[in-house]
Amino acid sequence: MVTIGLIVRLDAQPGKEEELATFLVDALPLVEREPQTVAWFALKTSDSSFAIVDVFPDEAGRRAHLDGPVAAALIEKASELLVTAPEIERVDVLAAERDEGRTMSAAAVFEPRRVLARRDSGGLEVTLYWSADDNSTSVEVWQHASGETVAFPVARERALDAFYHPFAHLPTTYGLSLDAEGATQ
């Protein structure tokens, strides 16, 4: 199931059109190694304009792709190949076609989980979710530096507190426990 994606627009410098096209074709094997990149397309939209369209099951997949080898290589080569920096647009997927050729319904495409709140602080991105399936809430904490994500369910009545103080609400199944002073044991 795909829920989000990227559209990246690229304008080649004069005389660099073929080199940019080759770069995009050569990027395919790298993208194929990204398990959360569900689909990836490199497109030529005019003689000197190109685009990349890719889709992911969730924000963690999109972040992994943006932190991956193709994005790094593109950033490294941007001044050599492109007129301007890549234009990156984050998009939501409204409908998608399955491999079998059938159009998915909106209910099948949209994950029943909805973002209620999101904040970024001290290298951590904290997101509070609500699930329509079972009317439950959960918190996801993503660390920018390591790319690690921890997600856990929280009672609805404690959801806001868990959003602002996620580590105080981590289940003990994560192997963390705190002593009286709040230090990890």
Sequential DSSP letters for 95-113 = --B-TTSPBPPHHHHS-SE
Distance CA 17, CA 12 (A): 5
Residues 82 and 20 grouped into a single domain: yes
Answer whether residue 174 shows pLDDT above 70: no
Same structural domain, 54 and 117: no
Per-residue pLDDT, 167: 87
Q: Are residues 23 and 87 in the same domain?
A: yes
Question: Is the pLDDT reported for residue 180 higher than 70?
Answer: no
Cβ 159 vs Cβ 115: under 8 Å: no
Residues 81 and 134 in one domain: no
Q: Do 19 and 75 belong together in one domain?
A: yes
Mean pLDDT of 61-81: 93
**Are both 58 and 125 inside the same structural domain?**
no
Residue 10 sits in a domain whose CATH number is 3.30.70.100
How much of the chain is helix, strand and coil, in % rounded to 5?
Answer: 30, 35, 35
Identify any residues that bridge with 50 across adjacent strands, giving them in sequence order: 10, 44
Summarize the confidence of residues 20-24 as an average pLDDT.
94
Q: Mean pLDDT across the chain, nearest whole number?
A: 83
Give tens-digit pLDDT for 141-170: 988 888 888 889 999 899 999 999 998 888
Pick from 45-49, 71-75, 132-136: least confident: 132-136
Mean pLDDT, rounded, for 126-132: 86
Q: Is 13 in the same domain as 74?
A: yes
Number of domains, the chain: 2
Residue ending a domain, among 27, 61, 92, is 92
**120 and 81 together in one domain:** no
Verify that 13 and 88 share a domain, yes or no. yes
Going by C-alpha positions, the residue among 125, 129, 126, 128 that lies closest to residue 113 is 129
What residue numbers bound the domain in which 52 lies? 4-92
Tell whether the model's pLDDT for residue 110 goes beyond 70. Answer: no
Asked if residue 98 is part of any domain, the answer here is no
Comparing 11-25, 29-43, 91-105, 110-124, which segment has the lowest mean pLDDT?
91-105
Within a domain: 100: no
Q: Please give the average per-residue pLDDT across 104-120, as a whole number.
A: 61
Is residue 106, in this structure, part of any structural domain at all? Answer: no
pLDDT at 33 over 70: yes
Within a domain: residue 63? yes
Our CA angle for 46, 3, 69, nearest 5°, is: 60
Does 178 score more than 90 pLDDT?
A: no
The first and second tokens of residue 130, run together, are: 């609500």
- Identify whether 38 is part of a domain: yes
Boundary of a domain, candidates 63, 92, 121? 92
Residue 34 has pLDDT above 70, yes or no: yes
Q: What is the mean pLDDT of residues 41-52?
A: 94
Structure confidence at residue 112 (pLDDT): 62
Q: Which long-range contacts (CB under 8 A, 24 or more apart) does 165-171 make?
A: 166/126, 166/139, 166/141, 167/141, 169/139
